[in-house]
Structure 1
Amino acid sequence: MAYVNAMLVCTQAPMVGAVPFLFPPDKVQMTRDVQFSSHGSSSPNGAKPAGGLESFKKAEPLKINLSEVLFSGPETKPLCDQLLNWMSPGSGRLGQMVGGALAVKTKSMNHVNRLPVLTFQMGPPSAGFLYDVMLQSAQISFTRFNRTGIPIRARATLTLKEQPSLLGTLPTNPTSGGLPGRRTYTVTEGEDLVNLARSHYGGTSDWRRLADANGIDDPLRMRPGTTIYLPNPDEFTD
């Protein structure tokens, strides 16, 4: 079996599938925006604060742009179709059958409207990329066909949007003070360790261990912009 440089994988039914990349993308561009509020005395016209301070509110999810992803061979069209199907929940015969059955049972189509969460992996997890993402956009150019008109080569540009998960780039930089397997997280306005434990570990019972791992005395009062460590769940086992 050939070594796979990078791939996208989905484990959520009925959208299960994998798209291996023939070669690494030519370029991986990562972008993150932040939101902040300004504090200080107002200018005479009241339009903008004058000489005020800017306070961090939240960081937007990471956007990952993959340029020049190459597909080649007889699997070119099925792999590109898989990418497009991930952007259209409930598409394809299997998705429509499963989605329709669930809709009859639940009287709801909300599950059909959710994009599946994919795992993007490129290189070894210890030194490369490992993120849970949604496929936000795909631009695909078919550049070669066989004599019957079947595509046998394509180039794609993909935009991925990071989703909250327990993955992340590993290991944590040793100079940060974190243990291997930990991630860092920047606290946003209104967050505390109780709701962080719920969102990252599935329950509130681990807030005290999260506080101990970060040397925090008051878990209910944290300033926006504070960076904390999110230990690997294995560290919480007794």
Structure 2
Amino acid sequence: MPPTSGASLVKARLVIMEPPPRVGAKPGGKLATVKFQFNPNALSLSKSTEWRRQPARMAGSASLPEFVGSGPRTLSVQVFLDATAKHDNSVEQRIESLMVACVPTKSSIAKKKPASPWVRFEWGTAKSVSFDGVLSSLSVDYSLFDVDGTPLRATCSLSIEEAGVDPPGQNPTSGTEEASRTHRVVVGDTLAQLAFREYGDPTAWRVIAEANDIDDPMVLVPGTELLVPLADGGGR
């Protein structure tokens, strides 16, 4: 569908924000807004689901899959940079502004809890590709240089992984929902892995260990159901 006649061009941008002050909280204040020099000509959005299937006793049949959960959305986008008309090192400056999203913020370092910023891709009224997440990868391909070696043209490939926030009403004082859930152990599971999946912090495995009276965190029996306290349920 062609653009509406007379409508102004809306530029895409990447909003860089302080990481949440605690598990389950929303991202903090805005650190920077990186405006795209050119709008992307393609966006790639993916989302996965995880299923568990018990081995079937009969070779000719298959067991019903059990839904475990859905994975985060992942947005992949390319940013094209061109400074051939200005020669003002804007390519390197813009790349440095994107690199900020890959390193811990000063405030998180000061609190002795290093964490990289959260980001959100925004482009007009688009909703499906606009969500809070973290920059999981950033690669740069330089394709043109000035006579003195200054980069004049580059393509940046970004991958943003959704970082969800638990919905409200999970605090036990609210009385609306349980403050924990269960997880059935499968081969390869570890408490650190489960803690990272639930809280974003693998060192929080002790919360799950205490809730299940686990003495040895290295021994998890497949098929065992673990009680997993929710982030807002006072477990941490």
TM-score, structure 1 as length reference: 0.55
Aligned CA RMSD, in angstroms, stands at 3.6
Compared CA separation, residues 133 and 148, structure 1 to 2 (3 A): same
**Pairs aligned (count):** 160
Report deviation, 1:83: 1.6
Say yes or no: does 1:78 pair with 2:93.
yes
* 1:31 equivalent among 34, 37, 46: 46
Return structure 1 stretches of 4+ with deviation > 3 angstroms.
Answer: 145-149, 202-208
Q: Once the two structures are aligned, what percentage of the paired residues are identical?
A: 18
Gaps of 5+ in 2: 1-7, 19-27, 182-236
Q: Show the counterpart of 2:117.
A: 116
- Deviations for 1:3-53, whole angstroms, at most 9, x for unmatched residues? 552111113289822221122223211111211112574246xxxx94311
Compared CA separation, residues 129 and 31, structure 1 to 2 (3 A): closer
Larger strand percent = 1
Conserved 8 A contact 1:122-1:128:
no
Report deviation, 1:122: 1.8
Conserved 8 A contact 1:141-1:155:
yes
Tell me the SS of whatever aligns to 2:164. coil
Q: Show the counterpart of 1:59.
A: 70
Larger helix percent = 1
Alignment of 1:71-150 (within 5 A): 71-73=81-83, 74=88, 75-90=90-105, 95=106, 102=110, 108=112, 111-112=113-114, 114-125=115-126, 129-150=129-150
Conserved 8 A contact 1:15-1:116:
no
Report deviation, 1:152: 2.9
TM-score, structure 2 as length reference: 0.55
Gaps of 5+ in 1: 166-198, 209-218, 223-238
Compared CA separation, residues 53 and 86, structure 1 to 2 (3 A): same
Say yes or no: does 1:16 pair with 2:31.
yes
